[in-house]
Structure 1
């Protein structure tokens, strides 16, 4: 992807917020109250056009005894209010103490939604085997991005975490909170990092779960941490299989079988008769469609590998997942600008030396988002400085290769007095209900008390 300069105001410069009128809350069904505020489409040009930010509130159970407002972003980037409406059970504990407020990021849902006229492309084989395959996908993604930018109007070029962090400051002011109490998950941690850097003295308490590091300028180190985590998950799969009699590869070396299947598919794609008499599955297709991350998939994966070893790769003909919401990739690629194909192949070669089985494929997920998108103003990763920031609590799951634990530790080392909570688990520790993590988070958000020195959370029971 072509990268243009970051915001002309400077990478870490905050803009003074506009005075925001307190929201007028109205019942909007499902026990929620909804409201809107107006903010500049471009915080670097506050006198320009305004856009709407939609808010939703799940009121505290005890209004007289509540501790204030907790602003939440569950990640994505994508719609948030719909998630609150459909998943109130995930926030119920928090409403013991807080009004839980969620906002749709600019461009989504109730916040001046941008309805891109054509959908974002979806690659069923997202480990691109050749440059022509990558270029063909990039051309489709460029067409999508150009059409979406025209539809975005004043928001075109203004979809990144720098802008959204300023929206969050406007929300804090509109809600009448002296300090922001915030819970961010996944990409919500990128927003949290931006807010902490731009408005460190406006932070009250902040919990960041499954951190996406936004402080590593170059992609190589950022990718290396993900590759190592994914390779470790392949090794966890192998250990499980060796110790589980129902594993289809029990009694064999599962990773040796993986190597054999990948080598065979690389030399000559393997037939997949269930998908059609002419269908053949290549090594890059297998890499695209293999999930070592989640234990719940391991039984089926082992059976699929056993069949592939015997010459039937039908298991790997199945495409799981769905296209990401169109705007998600626009924001992701503004926050995490990504190289073009030639540089990515060099990164893949470098990662293959250290993570030869599967970790190297981590080069490609972001390429599926960013390939060919038209240039935009970006807020790229950079080392973070946040003088005056109060202690922040951070936790990542040890088995999470989407946001590896090394990302959380790196961020914690840069934030003054931050505390990193080690936890055995995967992505979204709080929202997947990890009891130990939730206990520490609740104590911190309600009292400010951090986990004891040396505390960690084992597997969720």
Structure 2
């Protein structure tokens, strides 16, 4: 059961490595309003947060860093605080305000995204006109973060082989027990924060950051999961929406099961596109047609599922790890040649390149440490953002449906409920459409060949939002702005800089 949605920040690392909802309740009772730096009125209980002054320190060439504080629990601001890490690159001319950027995940570090790959995150026109701000949401990275396992335990959790037939009662028990153990470790090491890392809380943090940065309205660029965070913000604060770009959109009304199946199909289509490209070139490890290649990949996954390969460091490559290694390069067509190299190696019984790709996806360093907490935060956030059920019979039905929809990849995408059904903090959130009634126009970008956030999700979100405007990119890869073509880039930059809203989908 691989981690599914990948952040745009991870895609940047990938390219470099390869050289490439309804009503929202008001939680606060009426109280005397207090003015913020932007002239707004906030409740008395939020005054320490909305009136704080950020202390910026130089933390790299052209970069400043600061730490903000937010309520641990927005329904009870006196219960405690969390820290939010920020990094900022100042506008070089004619400043328009701040542009907050989220790379996705959930669990992607916006701090690292801007600090390490500013030019990948945004184009030069945006760097010139906006203070580009990266932030780690609650639970993530340099902010108050979810913590669960030490590296050896994480290795076993991510790469360990389950000694039972996939889908059997024994397999379900073992996988469920491992997930429950992981959740207990997260609760022990993280404390109360583990129950407060949901996306609604993160969206409230986003409004706090907007205010203390001095912006009356939010200008925002969200990739992948970051589109859900941005849409949630718009639902909570439609009157505070400035210019929002949601690239690689999620459908906020989709259930966990629907997300799983759509992504399995998306990656299946991306794998087929890779094979067509591979077979049309030279040095392709496959023969025949793309369908023949799909069948061969299916046999390869089944083979390592039954008899895993051993890497030189002793770790094993079973079907789950091999699938992670396959998925990683599928996020960007620029990385397809490296996928061919990996398939070549695995076909010869060499597991090391597959482990290297899986390590890149999982944030694992060569020395066995992990560079971030993206696995922990991804699980913690998703376990609060969706609802899950414990009926194994229903799990099997859903797994069969995914396998039927995506015969090569789908058999290894099932039983996702096991990851969260015994999580320490249970969610009762029902997914629903987001309309953000009264918000200013919001750009929603969808890529027709996006494997991680399928194009139909962007269509759905643009339709749901009262002010949604769809921008379609006809191509491959995950997300489109600053990595596809001039049509997308010009549309996004004209909107963010000049407020120009497309009169119709430009179909880039």
What TM-score does the superposition give when structure 2 sets the normalisation length? 0.75
Which residue of 69, 93, 96 maps to 2:128? 96
Q: 1:368 to 1:71 in 2, by over 3 A?
A: farther
Deviates further, 262-271 or 420-429: 262-271
Question: Where does 1:268-417 land on structure 2 (aligned, <5 Å)?
Answer: 287=323, 289-291=325-327, 293=330, 294-296=332-334, 298-299=336-337, 314=350, 318-319=354-355, 320-322=357-359, 323=362, 324-340=374-390, 342-359=393-410, 361-363=412-414, 370=420, 372-377=422-427, 379-417=429-467
2:196 match: 158
Contact (CA 8 Å) 1:125, 1:285: kept in 2 or not? no
Task: Name the CA distance, whole Å, in 2 between partners of 1:137 and 1:289.
Answer: 20
1:430 match: 481
Contact (CA 8 Å) 2:210, 2:218: kept in 1 or not? yes
Task: Name the CA distance, whole Å, in 1 between partners of 2:265 and 2:378.
Answer: 25
Which residue of 495, 501, 505 maps to 1:444? 495
Q: 1:328 to 1:230 in 2, by over 3 A?
A: closer
2:24 match: 12
Give the 3-state SS of the residue equivalent to 1:356 in structure 2.
coil
CA deviations 1:239-267 (Å, max 9, x no partner) are: 324432443434x1242254256358758
Q: 1:35 to 1:456 in 2, by over 3 A?
A: same
Give the 3-state SS of the residue equivalent to 1:28 in structure 2.
strand
Q: CA RMSD in A?
A: 3.6
Contact (CA 8 Å) 2:72, 2:82: kept in 1 or not? yes
Give the 3-state SS of the residue equivalent to 2:159 in structure 1.
coil
Q: 1:256 to 1:204 in 2, by over 3 A?
A: same
CA deviations 1:97-132 (Å, max 9, x no partner) are: 111122221233443344446454213669982343
Which structure shows the higher helix fraction? 2
1:112 match: 144
CA deviations 1:8-44 (Å, max 9, x no partner) are: x996325465231142332232122233333211111
Which residue of 173, 193, 196 maps to 2:211? 173
Which residue of 262, 265, 269 maps to 2:298? 262
Task: Name the CA distance, whole Å, in 2 between partners of 1:97 and 1:59.
Answer: 9
Which residue of 228, 245, 257 maps to 1:190? 228
Q: 1:268 to 1:24 in 2, by over 3 A?
A: closer
Q: 1:229 to 1:264 in 2, by over 3 A?
A: closer
Once the 2 structures are TM-superposed, how far is the Cα of residue 445 of structure 1 from its aligned partner?
0.6
Deviates further, 130-139 or 165-174: 130-139
Q: Give the unaligned 5+ runs of structure 1.
A: 1-8
2:98 match: 69
Give the 3-state SS of the residue equivalent to 1:183 in structure 2.
strand
2:55 match: 25
Task: Name the CA distance, whole Å, in 1 between partners of 2:228 and 2:296.
Answer: 39
What TM-score does the superposition give when structure 1 sets the normalisation length? 0.82
Contact (CA 8 Å) 1:290, 1:301: kept in 2 or not? yes
Deviates further, 370-379 or 341-350: 370-379
Once the 2 structures are TM-superposed, how far is the Cα of residue 404 of structure 1 from its aligned partner?
1.0
2:70 is equivalent to residue 39 of structure 1: yes
Question: Where does 1:225-264 land on structure 2 (aligned, <5 Å)?
Answer: 225-250=262-287, 252-259=288-295, 262=298
Contact (CA 8 Å) 2:301, 2:323: kept in 1 or not? no
Contact (CA 8 Å) 2:100, 2:220: kept in 1 or not? yes
Across the two proteins, how many residue pairs are aligned to each other? Answer: 441
Deviates further, 151-160 or 109-118: 109-118
Contact (CA 8 Å) 1:115, 1:148: kept in 2 or not? yes
Moved over 6 A (4+): 125-128, 267-274, 279-285, 303-308
Give the 3-state SS of the residue equivalent to 1:421 in structure 2.
strand
Task: Name the CA distance, whole Å, in 1 between partners of 2:277 and 2:258.
Answer: 29
CA deviations 1:136-182 (Å, max 9, x no partner) are: 34323322322322333342311110111111111122223221111
Task: Name the CA distance, whole Å, in 1 between partners of 2:165 and 2:217.
Answer: 46
Task: Name the CA distance, whole Å, in 2 between partners of 1:215 and 1:227.
Answer: 18
